[in-house]
């Protein structure tokens, strides 16, 4: 705690990317309450890294490259011009390592107590309590692993995701514009869109090819993202699969292939969750996207979506969803 208090006012400029295939971006990194907080230049939070889980990819070298334990694809690069921040992170990592217990009887006793606690949890708590606890402790790395497994199952129903030399970069820019970890386009087999537990959105090609402007595709992504924030896709999956799925995820960190396959088959047929119009309009406003194109895509007459049309936060978008070139390229993503 003494070491943390010494550095809790330090912040520095750094370069951050959340995946190996994403572009690095300028960010501000600061030391918070036992965590590194990464924000963009508008002071919007992008990530929080637990200090005990921070690892360094290149000890003794500069610029210093750090990553969260278990996810080396997400990196934070701090240049030699910010020596105080590098020194602070290294000193805190050293202090934390010294405080970690050594292997031995205590670790064995702790493990045994944890196992007994899990057994008691499964035996005596209500299924809802077990579900809540499981969802709260599954790390982000594991959620992304579940995404990859589910995408493999989705491929059985829809074929491989669409890619293209010029379309794939455009798709990445659309994902970045809508603040997504990953956006995948499939040829069919799913309804308009799906949200997966690790933040991946799966979009049916028709949302891109059947409309004249990218605001429609953006609208379906925003609506699905909002629904996922209201009801965590991981919670949906475990709730659907039952208490044994939650127990298995909690104790082993995995789900059986049969569980994943069964959930995928139900997921692709499930209707899109409804979201309240005021919340949806607020989301469109936050992302600086018009709601009217999406409203007419849902109902060409506009009668059922009149509120989205009349209360559209923008007459014209303050910031284009995509450039004309990117939109043209993206519309051909499934032609290959």
Give per-residue pLDDT as tens, 254-304. Answer: 999 999 999 999 998 888 888 999 999 999 999 999 999 999 999 999 999
pLDDT band at 185 (very low <50, low <70, confident <90, very high): very high
As a whole number, mean pLDDT of residues 105-129 equals 65
Residues 6+ apart with CB under 8 A from 200: 144, 147, 151, 180, 181, 182, 183, 184
pLDDT for 100 beyond 70: no
Please indicate, yes or no, if residue 23 is contained in any of the structural domains.
yes
Distance set, CA 315 to CA 196, 281, 291, 311, 321 (Å): 32, 13, 9, 10, 14
The lowest-confidence range among 8-22, 213-227, 237-251, 286-300 is 8-22
Q: What percent of the chain is predicted at pLDDT more than 70?
A: 89
Measured CA to CA, the distance from residue 21 to residue 166 in angstroms comes to 15
Measured CA to CA, the distance from residue 13 to residue 335 in angstroms comes to 42
Please indicate, yes or no, if residue 336 is contained in any of the structural domains.
no
Q: What percent of the chain is predicted at pLDDT more than 90?
A: 55
Question: Is there a single domain that holds both residue 182 and residue 302?
Answer: yes
Question: Is there a single domain that holds both residue 199 and residue 290?
Answer: yes
pLDDT at 119: 58
Q: Enumerate the H helices of the chain as residue ranges.
A: 2-7, 83-99, 105-124, 127-137, 140-158, 167-177, 206-209, 214-230, 233-241, 243-252, 257-267, 277-287, 292-298, 306-310, 324-331
Please indicate, yes or no, if residue 325 is contained in any of the structural domains.
yes
Distance set, CA 184 to CA 3, 12, 114, 152, 171 (Å): 43, 34, 38, 12, 8
Question: Is there a single domain that holds both residue 74 and residue 156?
Answer: no
* Encoded tokens for 249: 């995820």
pLDDT at 332: 92
pLDDT at 220: 96
Question: Is there a single domain that holds both residue 78 and residue 155?
Answer: no
Residue where one domain finishes, among candidates 44, 77, 99 = 99
The lowest-confidence range among 17-26, 116-125, 279-288 is 116-125
Read off the CATH number of the domain in which 70 is found.
Answer: 2.30.29.30
* Encoded tokens for 179: 């603040």
Please indicate, yes or no, if residue 133 is contained in any of the structural domains.
no
pLDDT for 72 beyond 80: yes
Question: Is there a single domain that holds both residue 264 and residue 166?
Answer: yes
Residue where one domain finishes, among candidates 47, 74, 99 = 99
Question: Is there a single domain that holds both residue 162 and residue 298?
Answer: yes
Question: Is there a single domain that holds both residue 160 and residue 278?
Answer: yes
pLDDT for 1 beyond 50: no
pLDDT band at 125 (very low <50, low <70, confident <90, very high): low
What secondary structure letter does DSSP report for 101? P
pLDDT for 104 beyond 70: no
Please indicate, yes or no, if residue 129 is contained in any of the structural domains.
no
Residues 6+ apart with CB under 8 A from 233: 195, 196, 197
Cα distance between the two ends of the chain: 56
> Are residues 48 and 36 in contact, defined by beta-carbon separation less than 8 angstroms?
yes
Measured CA to CA, the distance from residue 35 to residue 55 in angstroms comes to 13
pLDDT for 199 beyond 60: yes
CB environment 233-266: b (16+ within 10 A), e (fewer):
bbbbbbbebebebbbbbbeeeebeeebbbbbbee
Residue where one domain finishes, among candidates 68, 83, 99 = 99
pLDDT at 90: 87
Please indicate, yes or no, if residue 310 is contained in any of the structural domains.
yes
Question: Is there a single domain that holds both residue 75 and residue 186?
Answer: no
Q: How many domains does the chain have?
A: 2
Question: Is there a single domain that holds both residue 186 and residue 302?
Answer: yes
Question: Is there a single domain that holds both residue 301 and residue 175?
Answer: yes
Helix (H, G, I), strand (E, B) or coil at 190: coil
pLDDT in tens, 52-61: 888 999 988 9
| Strand (E) or helix (H) holding 76 | strand 75-78
As a whole number, mean pLDDT of residues 161-168 equals 90
pLDDT for 2 beyond 70: no
Nearest residue to 217 (alpha-carbon basis) of 209, 208, 204: 208
Record the pTM: 0.62
Mean pLDDT, the chain, integer: 87
Question: Is there a single domain that holds both residue 68 and residue 146?
Answer: no
Measured CA to CA, the distance from residue 10 to residue 56 in angstroms comes to 19
The lowest-confidence range among 19-33, 123-137, 182-196, 318-332 is 123-137
Question: Is there a single domain that holds both residue 89 and residue 174?
Answer: no
Please indicate, yes or no, if residue 117 is contained in any of the structural domains.
no
Nearest residue to 14 (alpha-carbon basis) of 92, 72, 67: 67
pLDDT band at 50 (very low <50, low <70, confident <90, very high): confident
- For residue 152, give its domain range: 139-331
As a whole number, mean pLDDT of residues 89-112 equals 71
Please indicate, yes or no, if residue 104 is contained in any of the structural domains.
no
């Amino acid at each position: 705690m003494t070491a943390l208090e010494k550095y809790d006012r330090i912040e520095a400029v750094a370069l951050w990317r959340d995946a190996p295939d994403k572009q690095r971006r300028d960010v501000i990194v600061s030391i918070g309450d036992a965590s590194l907080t990464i924000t963009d230049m508008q002071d919007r939070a992008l990530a929080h890294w637990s200090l005990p889980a921070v690892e360094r990819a290149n000890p003794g070298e500069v610029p210093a490259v750090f990553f969260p334990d278990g996810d080396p694809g997400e990196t934070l690069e701090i240049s030699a011009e910010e020596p105080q921040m590098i020194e602070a992170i290294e000193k805190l990592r050293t202090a934390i390592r010294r405080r970690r217990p050594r292997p031995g009887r205590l670790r064995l006793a702790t493990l045994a107590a944890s196992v007994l606690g899990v057994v008691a949890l499964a035996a005596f708590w209500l299924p809802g309590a077990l579900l809540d606890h499981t969802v709260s402790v599954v790390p982000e790395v594991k959620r992304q692993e579940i995404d990859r497994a589910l995408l493999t199952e989705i491929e059985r129903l829809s074929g491989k995701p669409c890619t293209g030399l010029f379309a794939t970069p455009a798709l990445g820019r659309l994902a970045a514009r809508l603040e997504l970890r990953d956006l995948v386009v499939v040829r069919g087999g799913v309804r308009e869109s799906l949200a997966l537990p690790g933040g991946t959105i799966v979009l049916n090609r028709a949302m891109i090819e059947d409309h004249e402007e990218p605001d429609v595709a953006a609208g379906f992504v925003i609506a699905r993202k909002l629904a996922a924030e209201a009801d965590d896709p991981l919670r949906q999956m475990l709730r659907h699969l039952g208490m044994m799925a939650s127990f298995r995820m909690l104790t082993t960190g995995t789900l059986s292939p049969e569980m994943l396959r069964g959930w995928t088959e139900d997921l692709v047929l499930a209707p899109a969750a409804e979201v309240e119009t005021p919340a949806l309009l607020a989301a469109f406003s936050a992302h600086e996207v018009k709601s009217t194109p999406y409203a007419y895509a849902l109902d060409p007459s506009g009668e059922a979506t009149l509120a989205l049309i009349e209360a559209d936060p923008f007459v014209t978008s303050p910031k284009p969803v995509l450039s004309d070139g990117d939109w043209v390229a993206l519309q051909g993503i499934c032609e290959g």
